[in-house]
Amino acid sequence: MPHVVVIGAGIVGTSLADELTARGWTDVTVVDRGPLFATGGSTSHAPGLVFQTNPSKTMSAFARYTVEKFTALDHPEGWSFNPVGGLEVATTPERWADLHRKAGWAQAWGIDGRLLTPSECRRLHPLVDERRILGGFHTPTDGLANALRAAEAQARRAEARGATLRPHTEVLGIVDDGARVTGVRTADGVIPADIVVCAAGFWGARLARQVGLVLPLVPMAHQYARTGQIPELVGRNTAFSEAGLPILRHQDRDLYFREHVDRLGIGSYSHRPMPVDMTTLLADTADEAMPSMLPFTEEDFAPAWMDAAELVPALQDSKVEEAFNGIFSFTPDGFSIMGEHRDLAGFWVAEAVWVTHSAGVARATAEWIVDGAPSIDTHECDLYRFEDVARSPKFILQTSSQAFVEVYDIIHPHQYRTALRGLRTGPFHARQKELGAFFYEGGGWERPAWYESNAELAQRLIDDGLAIPARDDWSARFWSPISVAEARWTRKHVAMYDMTPLTRYEVTGDGACNFLQQMTTNDVDKSVGSVTYTLLLDHTGGIRSDLTVARLAPDTFQVGANSPMDFDWLSRHRPPGVTVRDVTGGTCCIGVWGPLARDVVAPLCADDLSHEAFRYFRTLRTYLDAIPVTMMRVSYVGELGWEIYAGAEYGAALWDLLAGAGASCGIIPAGRVAFNSLRIEKGYRSWGTDMTAEHLPVAAGLGFAVRMDKPDFVGKAALQAASPSESVLRSIVFDDPDAAVLGKEPVSVAGACVGYVTSAGYSATVGRTIAYAWLPAETAVGAAVTVDYRGSIHRATVHAEPVVDPAMIRIKR
Ligand code: FAD
Ligand code: THG
């Protein structure tokens, strides 16, 4: 049995010890630098509010499991979870609208919740001044965790199964044999280990750096205050129950509240970000019992107190009695960090985890370690989700600070980062700026969403009858009617799309073909010049990504991928002699698509680009005019045309060449909003949004990319053993031309929630919004569904796929 050392006896480390030993891995040692269980880490004084509803399905599932697990824990001193319920109130129309969106997430992810009137809120929480609020969102299964008891109960259970707890044992270093961890070094010597899990809370980044890992987390101070006695609370609670009123969030003022018997605890995120420098913190507090507690900075709390007293008038006669600035981890995107070190086998991390998600993260980590993969999708938390650009100290600090500022803000699903922009620009950037591109950010890249230069064209099309949906304020953000015109023009004429940010790798070497055959589901061992659409599966058959694999030479492949996690997955499995190189940065790509694409490109090329000579899903190295390019006849927008790749140094010339040659055909540049709507019309999925590792290929509508007759590939055995999935990904088309959805909305049949939307786009071709939704497998084409979009109920109909061009006439001509 492998020996596991868990670093950290906070809520994460103890929960992990419990989950590992429950799976029979009982040779577990949990070490902590502090005493048990008030170790001095963040868990020691977390007030333990558990609000389960989260835009992320995975984070909500983590929280649901925490509630379920803590509820069932046994601790001699009392409850580990007190289900007082959760109440979030709105004091602005924007927040009230957003609580409707939140109610939608709750419904979609299976959390009980209801919107309440102001007086219903007051009945539930009599301290709230109902005149200040527009309404509230109540979740009866939310509540309070007693994190210290939960940690102790889980640790003791693990101990009873054979685990060892070692307080006052600081890990000073990680010991390895060059390839694998072999133990951890402490003042008392080395504790041998086959697996080491870093669950060291905000110490984690420092520890991981010793083994060459960058953990993008920032220890950040956050204010928590307890009031003196509040007369209105006297007699309501016992010392045992501590609380009976729902935990309360006043997100418009970055505040939360809980009861401590006859006092209130108030947490505030309304202050400036206070990142903590670990070098000085640990030097200053090394001898202290609670390094995670900094002195209270009263001046930061003063405005929060005024805001708190406005919502809760009972505070007006009270004051802060004890308070501190507590430290815990923030990450650039608010998600936890989970996974195994790629270059040092056996070194795992479970970091930046709230009490709320702790049991869920611990379970998924234990499954990952013991079974090889977590049972739910964890890609949002993956250790290798960060692009290089996102791993500099400056980037990590700025974006994590921003995440702190925005922790309770209303975040639009298409909202992009504003800090540290302009770091990754392709060779077309200057041209795009001249054309009035509206830039957003993705993967660190500046990406055009649409071009103002097309405004006149849009007006002309509208005058000629192109319908533009009437969008509400929310769905109109990060969207423009111009994108409808760009999409229409692509289907009628021709457009050029900047595909530079599409992640691509060069896979080379003697064993390259065998390697890709082994890693992916489709047959990629075809002739030089072939392109294959294929999937990466994990060992359970779940979809890790979808790729295009182009064979440029017998031992040279270009792989079109989705994220740094694909690079990670391929690199982990790469045999000696095969090289996987990310070539995204040094190259560029333009997609030229539309019925006139051949008219634009063929005159520039000495090779024959006719349909017969250059077939669909083929690739060719050639020249356009004098520019060396690799052309691929592939189209994510579902039109005739090519992805045209070149070295970045040729980019400016390539753009000008295509724009010039296309002028007589009316070529326009088009952006990502049009691109997204076209790919949804065509039935193409976007990995990470439409499908994840939680889904099997057939359920996601991707069975066609799996060759079960291929000798062997990762995930094949699991697919053979799999029973049919209960849900399938379907296209739905909205009845009302003005109806818009943005993703993650609950979908109901006959009034009962049966699924959720993944992605959506307004289709210029059919004049309606089309969305993907996970629905019960038995849902038939033609079935009527409803979608709850921020409280508005939109009707839609399940449509056969793809909605546009099922016969492939547009592409294969
Ligand atoms: P920790 O509890 O910090 O545990 C890490 C452990 O690792 C520590 O015990 C430390 O001593 C040990 N360690 C570190 N380095 C070493 C080493 N080299 N060798 C040995 N041991 C080591 N979350 C919620 O969900 N809801 C809330 O309402 C909430 N409110 C909060 C309020 C405050 C004021 C604070 C500070 C945090 C709050 N949090 C809340 C966040 C939550 O407390 C943390 O996210 C969570 O406790 C982190 O747990 P952990 O086990 O990862 O870390
Ligand atoms: N271009 C390239 N690589 C990529 C993408 C791309 N890799 C990542 C991502 N996008 C992959 N997604 C898709 C989805 C669908 C298609 C291509 C890439 C596609 N599908 C055809 C279909 O379903 O009809 C495939 C048909 C076939 O198997 O022959 O074209 O945009 N380079």
Closest C-alpha among 375, 387, 366, 352 to residue 568: 387
pLDDT for residue 604: 98
Asked if residue 444 belongs to a domain, the reply is no
> Is 553 strand, coil or helix?
strand
Residue 798 pLDDT > 60: yes
Query: Mean of the pLDDT values across residues 713-734?
Result: 97
pLDDT tens digits, 435-455: 999 999 999 999 999 999 999
Torsion, CA 169, CA 171, CA 177, CA 178, rounded to 10 = 170
Domain housing 322? 4-194+217-330
Rounded distance, CA 181 to CA 194, Å?
Answer: 6
Confirm or reject: Cβ of 688 under 6 Å from ligand 1: no
Q: Which atom of ligand 1 is nearest to the CA of 291?
A: 11
Asked if residue 649 belongs to a domain, the reply is no
Q: Tell me which residues have their CB closer than 6 angstroms to ligand 2.
A: 502, 533, 546-548, 560-562, 617, 632, 634, 636, 643, 684
Q: Which atom of ligand 2 is nearest to the CA of 548?
A: 3
Residue 257 pLDDT > 60: yes
Q: Which of 45, 222, 271, 429 is catalytic?
A: 222
Asked if residue 284 belongs to a domain, the reply is yes
Q: 455 alpha carbon to ligand 2 midpoint, in Å?
A: 30
Asked if residue 310 belongs to a domain, the reply is yes
pLDDT for residue 279: 79
- CA torsion sign for 441, 446, 448, 451 is positive
Q: Which atom of ligand 1 is nearest to the CA of 12?
A: 51
pLDDT for residue 349: 98
pLDDT for residue 287: 56
Q: 640 alpha carbon to ligand 2 midpoint, in Å?
A: 14
pLDDT for residue 277: 87
CA 321 distance to own-chain centroid: 39
Rounded distance, CA 275 to CA 28, Å?
Answer: 33
Rounded distance, CA 215 to CA 761, Å?
Answer: 35
Residue 290: pLDDT band with limits 50, 70, 90? confident
Strand bridging mode 437-442 / 445-451: antiparallel
Q: 685 alpha carbon to ligand 2 midpoint, in Å?
A: 9
pLDDT tens digits, 171-184: 999 999 999 999 99
pLDDT tens digits, 548-569: 999 999 999 999 999 999 999 9
pLDDT for residue 281: 78
Question: pTM of the full predicted structure?
Answer: 0.98
From 328, 338, 347, 358, the mutation candidate for ligand 1 (largest count of ligand atoms within 8 A of CB) is 328
Residue 69: pLDDT band with limits 50, 70, 90? very high
Phi/psi region, residue 732 (left: phi>0; alpha: psi -120 to 50; beta: rest), is: beta
Mean pLDDT of the chain: 97
From 503, 684, 702, 805, the mutation candidate for ligand 2 (largest count of ligand atoms within 8 A of CB) is 684
- Of the CA atoms within 13 Å of residue 520, those in its CB half-sphere come to 27
Residue 288: pLDDT band with limits 50, 70, 90? low
Count of the separate structural domains present in the chain? 1
Residue 471: pLDDT band with limits 50, 70, 90? very high
Q: 368 alpha carbon to ligand 1 midpoint, in Å?
A: 22
Asked if residue 386 belongs to a domain, the reply is no
CB under 8 Å, gap of 24 or more: what pairs does 658-661 form? 658/496, 658/590, 658/592, 658/600, 658/601, 658/604, 658/624, 659/431, 659/496, 661/600, 661/601, 661/603, 661/604
From 282, 297, 354, 408, the mutation candidate for ligand 1 (largest count of ligand atoms within 8 A of CB) is 354
Rounded distance, CA 718 to CA 439, Å?
Answer: 42
pLDDT for residue 718: 97
Query: Mean of the pLDDT values across residues 650-671?
Result: 98
> Is 29 strand, coil or helix?
strand
Residue 82 pLDDT > 70: yes
pLDDT for residue 286: 54
Answer yes or no: 256 catalytic. yes
Q: How far is residue 210 from each of residues 169, 194, 219, 232, measured CA to CA in Å?
A: 18, 18, 18, 52
> Is 549 strand, coil or helix?
strand
Q: Quickly list H helices, 233-312.
A: 278-285, 298-311
For a pLDDT cut of 70, what percent of the chain falls above it?
99
pLDDT for residue 291: 84
Residue 282 pLDDT > 90: no
- Of the CA atoms within 13 Å of residue 678, those in its CB half-sphere come to 28
- Angle at which helices 564-573 and 512-519 pack, to 10 degrees? 110
Which protein residue has the closest C-alpha to ligand 2 atom 19?
A: 636
CATH number where 172 lies: 3.30.9.10
pLDDT for residue 284: 60
Q: DSSP letter for 271, please.
A: S
Residue 294 pLDDT > 70: yes
Residue 256: pLDDT band with limits 50, 70, 90? very high
Query: Mean of the pLDDT values across residues 717-734?
Result: 97
Asked if residue 312 belongs to a domain, the reply is yes
Q: 466 alpha carbon to ligand 1 midpoint, in Å?
A: 56
pLDDT tens digits, 698-711: 999 999 999 999 99
Query: Mean of the pLDDT values across residues 288-295?
Result: 82
pLDDT for residue 419: 87
Asked if residue 471 belongs to a domain, the reply is no
pLDDT for residue 179: 94
Asked if residue 499 belongs to a domain, the reply is no
Tell me the residue type at 656. Answer: D
Which protein residue has the closest C-alpha to ligand 2 atom 22?
A: 684
Answer yes or no: 222 catalytic. yes
Q: 548 alpha carbon to ligand 2 midpoint, in Å?
A: 6
Q: Which residues of 342-354 are buried (b: 16+ CB within 10 A; e: fewer)?
A: bebbbbbbbbbbb
